[in-house]
Structure 1
């Protein structure tokens, strides 16, 4: 089997079929099917979730236990590492066509292999270069990560702790990285995936982050535990009232031929119309 070339990949650019993207260690093939049943997208992880000693076994499992390539992403190791080259070699024996490249820092390391790539921006250099990375021809989306970023800063925590203001929420540098990735993705017409909420028992914290991600136009949120999937799906699914409002806006725009009009005292113009269209798009995409 071979992976598609860049030209073919771009002609059929992949989009997340739903908002809940679940990481699954690639060296645990017994979890593959369960993950696929629970989530919209499975991210088979060859990097942080797998110890270096187990990565050869993980690549073998990746080949031997195929999942639906339309609902599967493979997280590969950072460019310049021996594991990166081995990951790419293993992918040629699968039907998978979308990778998530860990610790993406330059566009050249993405274009070098030509695969449809979600660039995982999670280092200081990656955050600074987010605009250039997003513009890479085969970069289809961006995701950001807080823990490697903070480690690269020489720090100790991406979130405020007990006794600090707003415990559990991100510190300013992490929030900056999140905003930078979202802006870079939007500026280049790519989708963005929000970072995982590591404390899978903290449902309230996940709800708050998903609510904010939806408000900012993220396409999906990554997660590490199946219990987080329903919360993510619920957060991305517009309410009945939101859908009804969006349909009124779209219908009104057609009636007024794209001109300005009002609904319940709210002035409706081009930006509001686009927000309404985004609501209907999310409603159609969320399972």
Structure 2
């Protein structure tokens, strides 16, 4: 993400639970202090004050604010102005014009989790304040009038997979990072591991999670194994003496392969 490196595991934490803030940040690469779905309407005012009072490393904190069309949005922005936190996740992002409410000091993560948000993902990613896009399955399916984002075997339905791909491609097309959605089944570590491995292989920069036990699974998926790291070092070393396309270990190597190798070492 532009100007910020959170690492791969971003942990949601309800903003009405300030006693959990420091622990959540210590367990993950970044913490998402949530003013939206995790907080009941009657608790939102106090949740905002909890964020104002928090003393956390601003470089590793994301604040999720409410839907820009909601009555809570303006109060969220006012509270943020009294904090050092400048990385903001916009819930139910649909209209990039709403992002103009933030000044140039803010980095925005636009959460495309409705049909309109996914449809306009390219426009959203193009906004200069946007550093990353994230997608969300449950709100998306609800906005479509559906009932479940996954089939009985736990895999995403085709419409959810389309949204995931659309958001990733839109982010990349505009040079922005993409964050993969949460895995709601906390005890399904194999399923999370499979999805996180697919996320990193597809080009996502991070995966959000809802429980500390999911952090280690996500980190392991994003961390290249020793053999892959060794291949990356070797192919980049071989490239120093070559011009254009060349053969390495029986495989044709060109610039896309070299970019993959550089990405491997960056994750390592």
TM-score, normalised by the number of residues in structure 2: 0.97
Range 45-54 or range 266-275, more displaced: 266-275
Match of 2:245 in 1: 260
Gapped regions of structure 2 (runs ≥ 5)? none
Shift of 1:253: 1.0
Distance 2:209 2:4 in 1: 17
Q: Deviations over 1:53-110 (max 9, x none)?
A: 1000100111112211000000000112111100000001100011000000011111
Range 126-135 or range 60-69, more displaced: 60-69
Q: 2:108 aligns with which of 92, 117, 140?
A: 117
Distance 1:242 1:113 in 2: 41
Match of 1:51 in 2: 40
Distance 2:45 2:100 in 1: 25
Distance 1:89 1:112 in 2: 11
Q: 1:133 aligns with which of 121, 124, 132?
A: 124
**Residue 118 of structure 1 aligns to a residue in which SS?**
strand
Shift of 1:16: 3.3
Distance 1:43 1:57 in 2: 17
Gapped regions of structure 1 (runs ≥ 5)? 1-11, 162-166
Give runs of aligned pairs for residues 116-195 of structure 1, distance below 5 A: 116-161=107-152, 167-195=153-181
Match of 1:5 in 2: none
Match of 1:107 in 2: 96
Shift of 1:183: 0.1
Match of 1:239 in 2: 225
Q: 1:274 aligns with which of 256, 259, 262?
A: 259
Q: 2:5 aligns with which of 6, 11, 16?
A: 16
| Conserved? CA contact 1:181–1:192, under 8 Å | yes
Distance 2:262 2:169 in 1: 19
Range 260-269 or range 71-80, more displaced: 260-269
Distance 1:34 1:78 in 2: 27
Shift of 1:14: 3.3
Give runs of aligned pairs for residues 57-96 of structure 1, distance below 5 A: 57-96=46-85
TM-score, normalised by the number of residues in structure 1: 0.91
Distance 1:210 1:144 in 2: 14
| Conserved? CA contact 1:21–1:43, under 8 Å | yes
| Conserved? CA contact 1:69–1:97, under 8 Å | yes
Shift of 1:37: 0.8
Distance 2:201 2:86 in 1: 29
- Root-mean-square deviation (Å): 1.1
